[in-house]
Structure 1
Amino acid sequence: MSLELAGIHHAFGAREVLRGIDLSVGAGEIVCLLGPSGDGKTTLLRLVAGLEALQRGRIAIGNRVVAGEGREEPPEARHAGFVFQDYALFPHLTVARNVGFGLGGLPRAEREARVMEALERVGLGGFAGAWPHMLSGGQQQRVALARALAPRPAVLLLDEAFASLDARLREQVRDDTLEVLQSAGTATLIVTHDAEEAMFMADRIALLRGGRVEQLGTPEELYLRPASRFAATFLGEVNTLPATVSGGVARAALGSLPAALPDGPAELLLRPEGVRLLPEGQGVPAVVEDSRLLGASSLVRLAVPAAAGAPPLRLHARLPPGPRLRRGDRLGVALDPERAFVFSAPST
């Protein structure tokens, strides 16, 4: 089943946290709500689940309106599975009884079969009799996911479900969870403030800012074709270069780009992997200030000399592993236009 949100507005007192959200999630699609803390992402999930009453707009699951147009179905009637940030497992219930908590209306044999099916799906078939305190953080997260999947929901909602895991475990659990979600084929809405997590998990990302959708698209679209300076900087690190637009071309220290902007000052934002290193004598002269190996890549700090009396332009370049550059090495730099974006200069 699909999920449809139309014209969603919500306020807490005088503070409006959602300002006209329109969003759809297709059957089997994974959409991530990405944005800064406090921008209404969790509130939107709670509205879908029926944990908050809808103030304005319409929510439909499948072809059934569950909120809006004079309706407000209770949470249990919406067939929405919810994985909370803290997992919300019952400490006094075994893993099996936690997973079966929402299946009380089924005959015992069917309930037990559903529980084992869900546990097998998340790789915890041998933990049915364990207690939550006996599990690692990653295992607790998978129990919470199994509990959400056991009723075979029409929509699955995950709220910062990986935030409490350490970095190494988070990568493994995300990978396992993505495999489960893809095999389940359920329309899934995930809340996160982590851009890398959103790009890894999502078929599409809805980037929220100030209670509105700033940009909606695939991870590739948001990362490589950001619609705004906010989108470009939220999706990943950028180097900021002053630029000047004239006749539809933006000119900066490392080169020029087409720019559909009025003539005047602008900013050129360049991803670190978009800084091309060239032999000395080619491109724009630069000096290596530092180089650090970060495992799968190296981060190089560069200084591009400026006019006499002006401070140098400092850049970060992210490179695949290779011969180590050393402080003081001289080389040339250029920009990769596929990793560079031009926007109007911020107003002062």
Structure 2
Amino acid sequence: MRHVPARRHPGQRAGPRCPRTGTVTLEFHDIHHAYGDLPVLRGIGLSVAPGEIVCLLGASGCGKTTLLRLAAGLEPLQAGRIELGGQVMAKPGREVPPERRGVGFVFQDYALFPHLSVAENVAFGLRFASRAERAPRVSEALALVGLDTYRDAYPHMLSGGQQQRVALARALAPRPAVLLLDEAFASLDARLREQVRDDTLHVLQNAGIATLLVTHDAEEAMFMGDRIALMREGRILQLGPPEALYFGPTDRYVATFLGEVNRLPSRVRGGQATTAIGALPAAGQPEGAAVEVLVRPEGLQIGTAAAHQAEVEACRMLGATTLVHLALPDGAGGVLRLHARLPAGRRLSRGERVTVAIDPERAFVFPPEAP
């Protein structure tokens, strides 16, 4: 099992302050943006504290990469204000050039120059520094990402993970106040992606600078982020620590985006949403209203002595957990099919009868999804 670094509170410094800029906060104020008649960002407000990693999470087209490009100065700001350390970096009609913002950017494809060595690629990010500064800065950045022995290698000689670390070193070499990463792990295969994410998290914590990371992968956002800003159609639906979004989603979309859920139809009676496997408090839902109970797979408790009987249709070990497929009557003449996740090692046989109950900490009540 991989080591997961201890999570910091938002804004808590995980390493030394940025040598050049000190403690700097990135702030977005009421950002609106459109491409022609198509609105892309609709009133975004967000801050990233020094030493904090904030993940912009959402489906393709929700506006997260556009927000990153506006922060980097790659697109002119149409409405709102972007500040860095209290200094205005962008507002309509006034843009600080990208090279003067103190912002590092890691692109999805890394954008390494194939004809330049690793050291020369990293030095390219220092083209505005004096010649005397470049060599020690390159060595410092390569040591930070663990590639100091590869300085004379070329990109084609490196693995995908090593190329990603070169791109990260190039972004960190100028000692930026803010680091922006756009789907930086998307091109790696699953196993390598886990290792590179782990390595990158340690590097970012040691760098101690404000970091904004774009991803469409909920697991990645929960692993990397001190806070997650879940976006949909140009708005932030919920902002907070990963555990707040996972265990306390304020919106059906948030609940389903952060992980798999079982869907149980219900109706509110006496303040409770009753389902075929138990009832939950339905605070805020009107009496008699049709609702849907969403239960995470690990929120289904499997036992042998309760009223709710289900049949095991399949049981598969998936490493750290075991996935169980269940079928049980829905109380209306139909069949409910549910997924449960159990600790690794527990084994159930196909056709076995078990009992099912709901863990209320991992279940949520929302109005039915609109057609």
Q: TM-score range by the shorter chain?
A: over 0.9
Query: For residue 276 of structure 1, what is the aligned residue in structure 2?
Result: 301
- Which deviations, in whole Å up to 9, do the C-alpha atoms of 1:136-164 show, x marking residues without a partner? 10000000000000000011000000000
- Cα deviation for residue 256 of structure 1 reads 1.2
Where structure 1 has 5 or more consecutive residues not aligned to the other structure, the ranges are: none
Instruction: Report which stretch shifted further, 86-95 or 192-201.
Output: 86-95
Q: What amino acid does structure 1 have at the position aligned with 2:39?
A: E
Q: Secondary structure at the match of 2:348?
A: coil
Aligned residues of 1:276 and 1:334 also touching (Cα < 8 A): yes
Distance 1:274 1:102 in 2: 48
- Cα deviation for residue 21 of structure 1 reads 0.4
- Cα deviation for residue 258 of structure 1 reads 1.2
1:293 to 317, 334, 337: 317
1:169 to 178, 192, 216: 192
Structure 2 residue 149 is matched with structure 1 residue 90: no
Query: For residue 215 of structure 1, what is the aligned residue in structure 2?
Result: 238
Query: For residue 302 of structure 1, what is the aligned residue in structure 2?
Result: 326
Query: For residue 188 of structure 1, what is the aligned residue in structure 2?
Result: 211
Q: Secondary structure at the match of 1:266?
A: strand
- Cα deviation for residue 230 of structure 1 reads 0.2
- Cα deviation for residue 98 of structure 1 reads 0.7
Query: For residue 241 of structure 1, what is the aligned residue in structure 2?
Result: 264
Structure 2 residue 240 is matched with structure 1 residue 197: no
Q: Secondary structure at the match of 1:316?
A: strand
Aligned residues of 1:33 and 1:41 also touching (Cα < 8 A): yes
Q: Secondary structure at the match of 2:125?
A: helix
Q: What percent identity do the matched residue pairs reach?
A: 67
1:47 to 70, 79, 84: 70
Q: Secondary structure at the match of 2:197?
A: helix
Query: For residue 177 of structure 2, what is the aligned residue in structure 1?
Result: 154
- Cα deviation for residue 91 of structure 1 reads 1.1
TM-score (normalizing by structure 2)? 0.91
- Cα deviation for residue 110 of structure 1 reads 2.0
Aligned residues of 1:81 and 1:148 also touching (Cα < 8 A): yes
Q: What amino acid does structure 2 have at the position aligned with 1:65?
A: V
- Cα deviation for residue 255 of structure 1 reads 1.1
Distance 2:338 2:125 in 1: 53
Aligned residues of 1:246 and 1:262 also touching (Cα < 8 A): no
Distance 1:216 1:77 in 2: 29
- Cα deviation for residue 70 of structure 1 reads 4.1
Query: For residue 102 of structure 1, what is the aligned residue in structure 2?
Result: 125
Q: What amino acid does structure 2 have at the position aligned with 1:275?
A: L
Q: Secondary structure at the match of 1:261?
A: coil
Aligned residues of 1:250 and 1:258 also touching (Cα < 8 A): yes
- Cα deviation for residue 72 of structure 1 reads 0.7
Q: Secondary structure at the match of 1:65?
A: strand
Query: For residue 262 of structure 1, what is the aligned residue in structure 2?
Result: 286
Distance 2:344 2:73 in 1: 49
Aligned residues of 2:77 and 2:92 also touching (Cα < 8 A): no
Instruction: Report which stretch shifted further, 246-255 or 52-61.
Output: 246-255
Q: Secondary structure at the match of 1:52?
A: coil
Distance 1:344 1:329 in 2: 34
Aligned residues of 1:122 and 1:180 also touching (Cα < 8 A): yes
TM-score (normalizing by structure 1)? 0.97
2:49 to 21, 26, 37: 26
Distance 1:275 1:24 in 2: 37
Q: What amino acid does structure 2 have at the position aligned with 1:222?
A: L
- Cα deviation for residue 206 of structure 1 reads 0.2
Distance 1:246 1:22 in 2: 39
Instruction: Report which stretch shifted further, 191-200 or 129-138.
Output: 129-138
Aligned residues of 2:292 and 2:365 also touching (Cα < 8 A): yes
Q: Secondary structure at the match of 1:103?
A: coil
Instruction: Report which stretch shifted further, 138-147 or 297-306.
Output: 297-306
Distance 1:332 1:17 in 2: 47
- Cα deviation for residue 346 of structure 1 reads 2.0
Where structure 2 has 5 or more consecutive residues not aligned to the other structure, the ranges are: 1-23
Structure 2 residue 94 is matched with structure 1 residue 75: no
Distance 1:338 1:150 in 2: 44
Distance 2:240 2:299 in 1: 22
Q: What amino acid does structure 2 have at the position aligned with 1:306?
A: D
Query: For residue 129 of structure 1, what is the aligned residue in structure 2?
Result: 152
Matched residues, number = 346
- Cα deviation for residue 103 of structure 1 reads 1.4
Distance 1:83 1:51 in 2: 13
Q: What amino acid does structure 1 have at the position aligned with 2:137?
A: R
- Which deviations, in whole Å up to 9, do the C-alpha atoms of 1:209-259 show, x marking residues without a partner? 010001001000000000111000000000000011123221111111111
- Cα deviation for residue 108 of structure 1 reads 2.7
Q: What amino acid does structure 1 have at the position aligned with 2:294?
A: L
